[in-house]
Structure 1
Amino acid sequence: MSVIVTRTDCPPPAKAVSGTASQTFGPNHRWKVLGIGVAANAGFSATFSGVPATAVVMRQGYQLDDASLGLALGLLGLGVALSELPWGVVTDRWGDRRVLLTGLGATAAWLFVMAMLVVPTKGAIPGVTLLSASLLVAGLLGGSVNGSSGRAIMGWFREGERGFAMSIRQTAVPLGGGIGALVLPSLALGFGFAAVFGLLAAVSALSAVFAWRWLHEPPAEGGGHVAATAGPAPLHNLEVWRISSAIGLLCFPQVAVLTFASVFLHDFVGLGTLATSASLAAVQTGAMVMRVWSGRYTDRHGNRRPFLRLCSALSALAFAVLWLLVLTAAGRPALMAALPVVLVVAGIAVSTWHGVAYTELATLAGPGHVGTALSLANSFVFVGFCLVPIAIPGLLHLWAWPGVWLAAAGCALIAWPIFLRPA
């Protein structure tokens, strides 16, 4: 590996060209950039996956019914969905460093405000409107993390190792979510939501410090840069829209696990807080391991599309088995005991593919458009984070838990043909 690390995919903004071109970086600097991407995504994942893991405690502490709880958690996802694409476009124009620093700093500040003002106390309990609006703003600010960190990693790593690098970055989502699932419910029970939001604010602030220290735009080879407009714009590329929509669809069942699995395990299976947290942490740990493996595997075999179709099929099958077990488990202790295991397997199956899909999408988008393309996909993803928690209470009212898991299986099955390579 050369001492000078170069990238041609994601150009620095025009104002930064002269200042960045003279910088040199050690041969291992790209791993620092990857570490920053993991830290930033893990911190925000602890927010958008960890806060829903406190659903049972939040429902009690804020005195919410299931519909209000779903609305509050859904608006967190809506905030990210609304802001992802604008943040991505800005990233392609401003560069990774400026956007990531701005977003992480603003997210940390807002979570600190929530820790001070939007928590239940002995004197007052914030209403669902204030809680929902606050989570919406947190999502709007946190949407800066995904596209900017992904653009940085795609630029610093070469073809043949990008799938592995992006999959490692995507392990940050289950890593942060798993830590959040283990820590935040107990923290909320023992110290209240001021401690929850305060800890999340500190994590975002620490990630901002790492980004300030090590995240830089690398110099382009030979002093030139690929124009930001090179290749078809991703918003006019039908194949980019296809893959983005499939990514969003396949995230719907994953979001169902992240947002309401704790309620399912508590209300239907009868697990306590510790066992519920352990089950959700097992989902996130398994997903993290499988994402790293899938990135290396598809880099070596060049089979991203077939792998994505396989993940869709396995996810549909796993949730169909969960649906069948829920239908037949009443009064059968052995089947009830199997439900958490099947839920963990289904959650891992539907969380394995992210790094592979984002690498395929970024490759399709072409030079100069990585931030926009990744943010487009994440907009679809967080539409799911908005709609799924709002829809689940309705499904529970109409068809109970079998309806929820059957709908999850259907979404995974619909995604399968979209991953077919066009003629």
Structure 2
Amino acid sequence: MAVLSRSRHRWVVLAVGVGAQGAFAAMFSGIPVTGIAMRAGYRLTTGELGLVLACLGLGVAVSDLVWGLLTDRFGDRRVLLTGLTSTGLLLAVMAATVTPADGAGVVPLAGCMAVAGALGGSVNGASGRAIMTWFQEGERGFAMSIRQTAIPVGGAVGVGLLPWLAHTYDFRAVYAAPAAFCLAAAAATWRWLHDPADRPRATEHPVTGHPVSEGPEGGGRSPLRRWDVWRLALAGSLLTVPQFAVLSFTAIFLHDVKGEGATLASVTVLIAQLGGGAARIWTGRRTDRAGSASGTRRAYLRAIGALAGIAMAAAAVLTGAPTPITVTALALGGLLANSWHGIAYTEIAAMAGPARAGTALGLLGTALFAMGFLTPLLIPVVIAHASWTAVWALTAAAALLAIPLAPAPVRAR
């Protein structure tokens, strides 16, 4: 009966993780697509807009590893409740006091974005560790990919909703909507997320007090001291460059270069987000069913890097092509750049083991969002000194550089 209860409840836990990840993604992905309205409403330059958008990624980058360590120490439930509730409350404060109607400028706006990213980043490691706890090897790739698909799906909700709210209402509504999402996810976490009764035990290190896995997966060694874990995190950060470039600057590119409005940009990003989400589930299921899951996940990661690099290189070559052709290349490149997260998160958590999964997932999140911070800062500089062709070419180069950096597939003996 206990086994049956665990078997059923693991899907409830997964649903809670999906809700938490999706709530944060609606804010994180939706706000950048309001870039045109934000630039006009707050009277920002393109460089200032890049700084504001970059601060979202900076907040996650500086906090994700800390959240991962806290998750391994205090558990996923406490961390998720703290992060989601505080993020929702901050967004509610922003809706009340940090809008163009309130006379807010670049400094308070950028500061609030950084804090929102820092608080919301709690969902990355905590919800992932819960999945590692409740699901077994052979099904974790599928489960983790579903959780990671909440990012493009939640992002798609944000991309479709927040620009419309900005245009129809104002930025009070833009911030209030994701605030409601985060608070609803916190309520679901409080109601349904808990540890399984038969959870594998973890002992504490006699000096540091950190949990040490007793099973073979973790090996008792901190993920932060393993070069193969760092390689995977750094490869993921490079694959993040085309993802953030398409997400954050497609609207600006299409407006400034092609004379298009926010609708086409939203459609392009939605295709990248939803298509990438479907690809995450497919790759997660595929690698679970394949033999030597670790080696298969690494092989898929390298293959996606190659395909994303080719697609973004095509976008660079086709920058001056008719708009439908350019948009197709960007949508495909964005789709591929959104498709690898599930297998990467599964692989790095499996490398660390369940007791250390929060730390490993936090490291990956830190690497990804650090690049998410740097990418919006770099792109305006490239535009000012070169061109949009150079922007898309650099994203292609980043994806291709991730291929040799990613850990090589492990061959079954």
Could you say which TM-score interval applies, normalised by the shorter chain? over 0.9
After superposition, give the CA deviation of every residue in 1:293-321 in whole Å (9 maximum; x if it has no partner).
Answer: 11001111131111111000000000000
What is the match of residue 158 of structure 1? 136
- Measured in 2, the distance between the counterparts of 1:377 and 1:185 equals 29
Which of 231, 234, 245 is 1:242 aligned to? 231
> What amino acid does structure 1 have at the position aligned with 2:398?
C
Give the secondary structure class of the aligned counterpart of 1:229.
Answer: strand
1:194-209 equivalence runs, <5 A: 194-209=172-187
1:263-302 equivalence runs, <5 A: 263-301=252-290, 302=293
Confirm or deny: 8 A CA contact 2:58 2:370 kept in the other structure.
yes
Give the secondary structure class of the aligned counterpart of 1:369.
Answer: helix
What is the match of residue 212 of structure 1? 190
What is the match of residue 324 of structure 1? 317
What is the match of residue 8 of structure 1? none
Give the secondary structure class of the aligned counterpart of 1:391.
Answer: helix
Give the secondary structure class of the aligned counterpart of 1:49.
Answer: helix
Which of 97, 115, 125 is 1:117 aligned to? 97
- Measured in 2, the distance between the counterparts of 1:378 and 1:74 equals 15
What is the match of residue 403 of structure 2? 416
- Measured in 2, the distance between the counterparts of 1:83 and 1:361 equals 18
> What's the CA shift for 1:366?
1.9
Confirm or deny: 8 A CA contact 2:41 2:100 kept in the other structure.
yes
- Measured in 1, the distance between the counterparts of 2:154 and 2:11 equals 19
Provide the identity percentage.
46
2:229 is equivalent to residue 229 of structure 1: no
What is the match of residue 208 of structure 2? none
After superposition, give the CA deviation of every residue in 1:20-41 in whole Å (9 maximum; x if it has no partner).
Answer: xxxxx45310001000111101
- Measured in 2, the distance between the counterparts of 1:295 and 1:64 equals 41
After superposition, give the CA deviation of every residue in 1:98-154 in whole Å (9 maximum; x if it has no partner).
Answer: 110011010011000000000011xx4211011001111111111111000000011
2:376 is equivalent to residue 386 of structure 1: no
2:391 is equivalent to residue 404 of structure 1: yes
- Measured in 1, the distance between the counterparts of 2:154 and 2:249 equals 17
> Which 4+ stretches in 1 moved above 6 angstroms?
none
- Measured in 2, the distance between the counterparts of 1:414 and 1:287 equals 20
> What amino acid does structure 1 have at the position aligned with 2:282?
W
Confirm or deny: 8 A CA contact 2:6 2:196 kept in the other structure.
no
Confirm or deny: 8 A CA contact 2:228 2:407 kept in the other structure.
no
What is the match of residue 206 of structure 2? none
Which consecutive unaligned segments of at least 5 residues does structure 2 have?
204-210, 214-219
Confirm or deny: 8 A CA contact 1:269 1:339 kept in the other structure.
no
> What's the CA shift for 1:342?
1.1
Number of equivalences = 393
Confirm or deny: 8 A CA contact 1:45 1:176 kept in the other structure.
yes
TM-score (norm 1): 0.91
- Measured in 2, the distance between the counterparts of 1:48 and 1:390 equals 16
Confirm or deny: 8 A CA contact 2:212 2:355 kept in the other structure.
yes
> What amino acid does structure 1 have at the position aligned with 2:55?
L
What is the match of residue 315 of structure 1? 308
TM-score (norm 2): 0.93
What is the match of residue 79 of structure 1? 59
> What's the CA shift for 1:4?
3.0
Which consecutive unaligned segments of at least 5 residues does structure 1 have?
6-24, 330-334
Confirm or deny: 8 A CA contact 1:114 1:194 kept in the other structure.
yes
Larger CA deviation: 172-181 vs 272-281 = 272-281
> What's the CA shift for 1:216?
0.2
Question: 1:30–1:401: structure 2 CA closer, same or farther, 3 Å change rule?
Answer: same
- Measured in 1, the distance between the counterparts of 2:134 and 2:163 equals 37
What is the match of residue 4 of structure 1? 3
> What amino acid does structure 2 have at the position aligned with 1:44?
F
> What amino acid does structure 2 have at the position aligned with 1:316?
G
Give the secondary structure class of the aligned counterpart of 2:137.
Answer: coil
